[in-house]
Structure 1
């Protein structure tokens, strides 16, 4: 099995060193991979039940990526067998007027995971060091300040019982072109397409540079970044599922002790 270490940002990290079309966690045919994914989804459900039963810690999964990288699809497939009672999803869109009236982390803190819960962020506070930097809405001094604030925010979460995993879904420009064109050519997918997606695509290199800088500045011991090669949707889902399972296994979750009053109890 491939190691996650190669895909963890940090040190002399370069995004270009990770190929979007790589499939290091691929095993067998596509049908075999889909069967593996279903088995992993069931395993994830068991681990989530343990997390809920233990009731003291939380897991936050952050998903970032360019348009069409598959954030929605990852959530749909990886958590396909998990109880909706134990998993919540928050989608971060353009901030509302109310959100803009607060600091940029305000809306994030409102949706952190509760004890015993897995929380998934579809986009996140990283929009405020990616979009804002590429569009020139903040200067370099403010960008560095936000990196530090984000690290402090994530350390707060970690020190209060939240395990954080951050995944950048890494696709190639060619694959994005094909996926955007499919949305245009398929009437049932028109709702997924926005003309603004093309504006962001024109700044592809700027966004790749912004991602590299952000991941390098905010991948920490308590909140690591992993780059997930995502040209293959199936591989993307398998890799994220395996990463989450490894993370939960490393937490060494335990069921709470049974109530002594249950010993010998007979239900009549």
Structure 2
């Protein structure tokens, strides 16, 4: 395994894919979705590395659950076909379902719309020792309504501020927030949508609304850029994942999540004083 696969790109290159200051300039168009900064250059080797990382994440998740000092929220955000489902399978497919929970977000129900936009989100955040992965997230409420003009610019700014305060509250009460924007190019999306249509086993995933959203590609790219720029914070930074390559996408996210879990210095809870002396009869 090469050093690239083991440790990833340099700190400088990784910093260029991270946004953690709402006051700093951010340009999504400046990030190449076909880049592979975490790749070894060998696809088979990268796939093997993803599998190995998934097993390591499973072991760390077990320790994370036993430790119970932290909660982990993983946000997977991205345009249609960017690979949120695939990331879940590849990165967490080896993890125990008792310790990892996935939440897929759809359009809000009437009951949910009767509350503030974060009401339904707060109910699903992780408990102590739990890892929760959001497939889409609360960021949908600063993307779709913005593109369609359903909220005013002032409401948009308010929602950014509410999200930042919400995520800060989570972090201050023990939740580690990892936000990944799966960044693909327009040509790559076209190929993936066509592949869905051409494959009878995947055709059910295709919806006519996908084409309507694709027709608004530039509007959504601006909405993503604005949302990331406003909500990348020191406590909950954004990581932009070049995701034209599915293997690279999985490798990058698995590598970064393993690093994050290791950085927590997880430990098993102390034994009761008499526990080592007990004998089972």
Normalising TM by the smaller chain, what interval? over 0.9
Q: How many residues align?
A: 268
4+ residue runs over 6 A deviation: none
Equivalent of 1:127 in 140, 147, 164? 140
Give the corresponding residue for 2:18.
8
Give the corresponding residue for 1:221.
234
Equivalent of 1:69 in 72, 82, 86? 82
1:267 deviates by: 2.1
Give the corresponding residue for 2:45.
32
Partner deviation per Cα, 1:133-188 (whole Å, 9 max, x = no partner): 00100010100010000001111111111000000000000000000011111111
Equivalent of 1:155 in 168, 172, 185? 168
Whole-Å separation in 2 of the counterparts to 1:13 and 1:100: 31
Give the corresponding residue for 2:5.
none
Whole-Å separation in 2 of the counterparts to 1:28 and 1:231: 15
What value does the CA root-mean-square deviation take over the aligned residues?
Answer: 1.0
1:28 deviates by: 4.4
Question: TM-score with structure 2 length normalisation?
Answer: 0.93
Question: TM-score with structure 1 length normalisation?
Answer: 0.98
SS at match of 1:138: coil
Partner deviation per Cα, 1:39-95 (whole Å, 9 max, x = no partner): 100110111111111112100000110100000000010001111100001110011
Give the corresponding residue for 1:241.
254
Give the corresponding residue for 1:137.
150
Partner deviation per Cα, 1:201-233 (whole Å, 9 max, x = no partner): 011111111111100100111111000000000
Equivalent of 1:23 in 36, 44, 50? 36
SS at match of 2:138: coil
Equivalent of 2:183 in 157, 166, 170? 170
